[in-house]
Amino acid sequence: MKAARILEYNKALVLEDVPTPDIQADEVLVKVAACGMCRSDVLLVDGFFQSYADIPPPVIPGHEITGTIEKIGSVIPKAAGLQEGDHVVVAPGWGDGVCRHCQVGNTHICPNVRWPGFGTYGGFGEYIPVPARYVIKVAKHLKFEELAPLTDAGLTPYRALKKIRDAGGLGPDRVVGVFGVGGLGAYAVQYAKLLGAGATVVAFARSEEKLAIAKKYGADHTIAVKGKTAADVGTELKEATGQNKLDAIIDCVGAVEMVQMGFALLGISGHYADVGFVGDRIDVPLFPRVSGEQTFHGSFWGNNADLSEVMALATEGKIQHTIKTIAFEQINEYLDLLRDNKVVGRTVVKF
């Protein structure tokens, strides 16, 4: 099969032919039809995750995976409802099945988790073996290039907004800010409208092109932040919404400057959910967080239940996409564009 592999960190991927993988008895072999490209792929190639886990090469990146079932393992029961040719998406976060997080369904935060695209096999290869419990069947009328990003870019902000919602941070009298309108933020704007219970949605970004996408996808207001202080942005926020503070924030960037601005704009009893990590440190004043009884939510990817809900929204036509499809041979070119923040929406490799 074709595969784009990391043979050495901080070097371009090597595009080559490698053996098609075998499967275990409890796995299915997925023929990859499309795989989204994520900034996490860039971080992986650039060695970022080596500080947190040892991921020895060769590695096939790519974790936003959709395709068809090519082969089914021998012990998978008919009750699973899986057949060769089924269209599926691959759920991330393959847990050990026995820890307390797995027992309640949060396999993606299992201490012994495995990730597609962060090891031997990933979506930048034509085939990937997947434990059968981590594939979700999808309607065949849905386009592969639109399904792929939903397994991360469309999943991660969904879970984060559910956390804010379940904590009581959303409602008709609330203003929620979406920071960054890239691959994740474009979906976050839509979920803020879908889950927000009437909350006013304000998108913040550096690029006017990305803010236009946010407006197209339902943002009530947009504010450009490039070259502005938090006070400047607060003034514009008050002109737009009547208040200079946000009741909730979903941060799809995670850059130091954006986090500092976000917390400066977060109101009393506000909720801040971060899913981005362009930076790897935050430095914010502590007293306003304590005295204002603010809540910071770390939110990482999502579980099978979250992804099933996202698939239901997609099936009902409630999610819009900004997609650029590319060929396998263009992977390194578009990793460079992602690295330079020159991609609008989501890039998807189609086999």
Location of structure tokens 């991921």: 55
Question: How high is the pLDDT of residue 342?
Answer: 87
Are residues 133 and 18 located together in one domain of the fold? yes
In a domain, 284, yes or no: yes
Are residues 167 and 201 located together in one domain of the fold? yes
Whether the pLDDT of residue 350 is over 90: the answer is yes
Are residues 145 and 175 located together in one domain of the fold? no
User: How many structural domains compose the chain?
Assistant: 2
For residue 176, the cross-strand partners are: 201, 248
Are residues 180 and 201 located together in one domain of the fold? yes
Closest CA relative to residue 34, chosen from 144, 130, 184, 152: 144
Q: Is residue 205 within 8 Å of residue 214, measured between CB atoms?
A: yes
Are residues 145 and 193 located together in one domain of the fold? no
As a whole number of angstroms, the distance between CA 31 and CA 50 comes to: 29
Residue 341: band (very low, low, confident or very high) from pLDDT cuts 50, 70, 90: confident
Question: How high is the pLDDT of residue 343?
Answer: 87
User: Helix or strand or coil: residue 94?
Assistant: strand
Q: Is residue 173 within 8 Å of residue 245, measured between CB atoms?
A: no
Instruction: Find the CATH number of the domain harbouring 212.
Output: 3.40.50.720
Whether the pLDDT of residue 279 is over 80: the answer is no
Question: How high is the pLDDT of residue 17?
Answer: 98
The dihedral region occupied by 117, where left means phi > 0, alpha psi between -120 and 50, and beta the remainder, is left
Find the domain containing 239 and state its range.
Answer: 156-298
Structure tokens at 55: 């991921």
Whether the pLDDT of residue 262 is over 90: the answer is yes
Count of CB atoms situated within 10 Å of the CB of 144: 21
Give percent of the chain above pLDDT 90: 95
Whether the pLDDT of residue 278 is over 90: the answer is no
Are residues 90 and 211 located together in one domain of the fold? no
91 DSSP assignment? P
Q: Is residue 41 within 8 Å of residue 117, measured between CB atoms?
A: yes
How confident is the prediction for the chain on average, in pLDDT?
96
Are residues 208 and 306 located together in one domain of the fold? no
Side-chain half-sphere exposure of 119, counting CA atoms within 13 A: 11
Side-chain half-sphere exposure of 220, counting CA atoms within 13 A: 19
pLDDT, one tens digit per residue, over 44-55 is 999 999 988 899
In a domain, 216, yes or no: yes
Are residues 148 and 170 located together in one domain of the fold? no
Q: Alpha carbon of 20 to those of 2, 14, 29, 63, 73: distances in Å? A: 9, 16, 10, 18, 15
Question: How high is the pLDDT of residue 344?
Answer: 85
Are residues 161 and 105 located together in one domain of the fold? no
Are residues 17 and 121 located together in one domain of the fold? yes
pLDDT, one tens digit per residue, over 291-317 is 999 999 999 999 999 999 999 999 999
In a domain, 316, yes or no: no
Are residues 290 and 161 located together in one domain of the fold? yes
Give percent of the chain above pLDDT 70: 100
Whether the pLDDT of residue 94 is over 80: the answer is yes
Element (H, E) at 247: strand 246-251
Closest CA relative to residue 332, chosen from 34, 19, 25, 46: 46
Structure tokens at 264: 């400066």
Instruction: Find the CATH number of the domain harbouring 127.
Output: 3.90.180.10
